[in-house]
């Protein structure tokens, strides 16, 4: 199960004499969710484009596994309103059947929007449609560039949850880009903190303790973490398995 999907070895990339990525070596594994975090300009998007094979490194190598099948969810998509295209048709561009599209839309919970023009979808619905297209071709590797962009906080939680469920059911590796570790924490196996080079990497709890991480994101944003065996409501209250609020200290309501 734990085969490397993409292996990067000593990758360097420079744009207009400005080094964007320096000496990046990493492996992305099947069945593992890796989250790439880093400040603006850290080279996250460049790294993603290298892994997708859209650009070539100046030196070093990016080696995809022979059976690699990528599902990609771009950061944003803007389709001119003059192009009449329904959500279903948008999915079918990935070269698949009508039936597969319906199933994918069902999986991400927007099957009622099949016939809606893609331009009329709300932020959260569009992200789901993009996710549906990414999983359409039964990928073994999902690359999600800021998958929760433009989605409200409840929606973000739901999306992250959906992504980790999908990765389990498809048994695929996932690479996510995010700049908010708070929300990703519970749905990622591994975090790579990038700032032109890899500052630190490891399990989310380890990374947040790492001096290099604190150096970039500051102590104040370092994350309160504890072992999660429960879910929170959007107000931060602890919920039980049924999603019902548990009364605790300081609670004196019904």
Shortest approach of other proteins to residue 224 CB, angstroms?
A: 36
Shortest approach of other proteins to residue 73 CB, angstroms?
A: 8
Q: What are the E-state strand segments in 30-77? A: 33-37, 59-64, 70-73
What burial letters (b/e) apply to 1-30, b meaning 16+ CB within 10 Å? eeebbbebeebebeeeeeebbbebebbbbb
What residues line the site for other proteins (CB under 8 A)? Answer: 49, 52-54, 70, 72, 74, 77, 79-80, 82-86, 89-90, 93-95, 116-117, 120, 133, 137, 143
d(CA 101, CA 89): 9
Nearer to other proteins, 31 or 74 (CB): 74
Nearer to other proteins, 70 or 199 (CB): 70
Shortest approach of other proteins to residue 97 CB, angstroms?
A: 14
Nearer to other proteins, 16 or 244 (CB): 16
User: Which pair of tokens denotes residue 26?
Assistant: 């990493």
d(CA 115, CA 5): 35
Shortest approach of other proteins to residue 16 CB, angstroms?
A: 8
Nearer to other proteins, 27 or 96 (CB): 96
Cα distances (Å, whole numbers) of residue 137 to 23, 27, 94, 141: 32, 23, 7, 11
Nearer to other proteins, 79 or 238 (CB): 79
Q: Work out the burial of residue 45: count CB atoms within 10 Å of its CB; fewer than 13 is exposed, 13-18 middle, 19 or more buried.
A: middle
Shortest approach of other proteins to residue 133 CB, angstroms?
A: 7
Nearer to other proteins, 86 or 186 (CB): 86
Q: Which of 130, 102, 12 is nearest to 62 (CA)?
A: 12
Shortest approach of other proteins to residue 212 CB, angstroms?
A: 30
Residue 12 near residue 18 (C-beta atoms within 8 A): no
Residue 171 near residue 30 (C-beta atoms within 8 A): yes
Shortest approach of other proteins to residue 118 CB, angstroms?
A: 8
Place of tokens 């969710």: 33
Nearer to other proteins, 140 or 208 (CB): 140
d(CA 219, CA 213): 9
């Amino acid at each position: 199960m734990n085969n490397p999907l993409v292996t990067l070895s000593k990758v360097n990339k420079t744009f207009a004499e400005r080094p964007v990525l320096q000496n990046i070596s990493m492996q992305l594994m099947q069945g593992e969710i890796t989250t790439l975090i880093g400040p603006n300009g850290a080279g996250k998007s460049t790294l993603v484009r290298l892994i997708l094979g859209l650009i070539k490194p100046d030196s070093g190598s990016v080696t995809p596994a022979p059976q690699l099948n990528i599902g990609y969810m771009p950061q944003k998509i803007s389709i001119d309103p003059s192009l009449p295209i329904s959500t279903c048709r948008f999915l079918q561009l990935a070269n698949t059947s009508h039936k597969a599209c319906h199933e994918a839309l069902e999986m991400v919970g927007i099957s009622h929007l099949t016939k809606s023009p893609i331009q009329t979808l709300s932020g959260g619905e569009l992200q789901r449609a993009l996710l549906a297209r990414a999983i359409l071709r039964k990928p073994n590797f999902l690359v999600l560039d800021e998958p929760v962009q433009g989605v409200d906080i409840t929606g973000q939680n739901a999306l992250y949850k959906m992504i980790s469920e999908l990765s389990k059911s498809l048994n695929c590796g996932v690479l996510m880009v995010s700049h908010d570790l708070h929300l990703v924490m519970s749905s990622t196996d591994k975090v790579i903190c990038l700032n032109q080079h890899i500052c630190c990497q490891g399990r989310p709890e380890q990374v947040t303790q790492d001096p290099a991480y604190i150096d970039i994101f500051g102590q104040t944003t370092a994350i309160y973490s504890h072992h999660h065996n429960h879910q929170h409501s959007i107000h931060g209250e602890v919920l039980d398995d049924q999603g019902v609020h548990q009364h605790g200290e300081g609670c004196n309501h019904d």
